[in-house]
Amino acid sequence: MKIPEDLCFNTDHGPKCFKDYKGKWLLLFSHPADFTPVCTTEFVAFSRKYEEFKKRGVELLGLSVDTNYSHIEWKRQIEQAFGVKVPFPIIADVDMKVASIFNAVPPGQNLTVRTVALIDPDLKLAWFAAYPYTNGRNIDEILRVIDAIQFSYKYGYATPADWKPGDPVIVPPPPTTEGAA
């Protein structure tokens, strides 16, 4: 899926468009609502691992249907309660325009589910996962998946289950019989 690069949105860091992320890796992740316990633990975890994402050249971008005022106050309270600054922007998707592209709003609902969308430098969806409202994401697993996808993107090899950098990889079969010769 190609991400519409001209789609623009408001964040607590000001207006942005997907074209601002062209040439970069982007991890877009939605959460049901600011100030909720599970979402708060996730934002603390994403913030604590922020430098790990930066090392991989991955920009973080949160998303919910809450307003920028809500995002700003929630971030302030997270910093006050946990001593962790949330350094990445959060989309204020009150009209659910961005969330609908990623199927992050279930039919008949007005809250986003927990989704993770890894967007490659060509603005193509490289990976998508959804989590239930009741369960938080595993940030280390997200980083592991990013490592595997970036490796495959760069070298064209496949990675087996539980792959980590330095582990053996899989050479994919040729797409044609002629390529096998």
Count of domains in the chain?
A: 1
- Structural domain includes residue 72: yes
Question: Residue 166 domain-assigned?
Answer: no
Task: Answer whether residue 174 is part of any domain.
Answer: no
The reported pTM is 0.93
Look at the block and give the residue holding tokens 């050479």: 171
Residue 54, in any domain of the structure: yes
- Structural domain contains residue 180: no
Residues spanned by the domain of 130: 8-155
Residue 87: give its domain's CATH number.
3.40.30.10
Q: Which residues are catalytic?
A: 39
Q: Which of 46, 115, 133, 33 is nearest to 82 (CA)?
A: 46
Residue at 161 is within a domain: no
Specify the 3-state DSSP secondary structure of 113. coil
- Residue 3 domain-assigned? no
Domain assignment present for residue 81? The answer is: yes
62 - beta bridge partners? 29, 90
Give tens-digit pLDDT for 85-129: 999 999 999 999 999 999 898 888 888 999 999 999 999 999 999
**What is the structure's pLDDT at 20?**
98
Res 109: pLDDT: 87
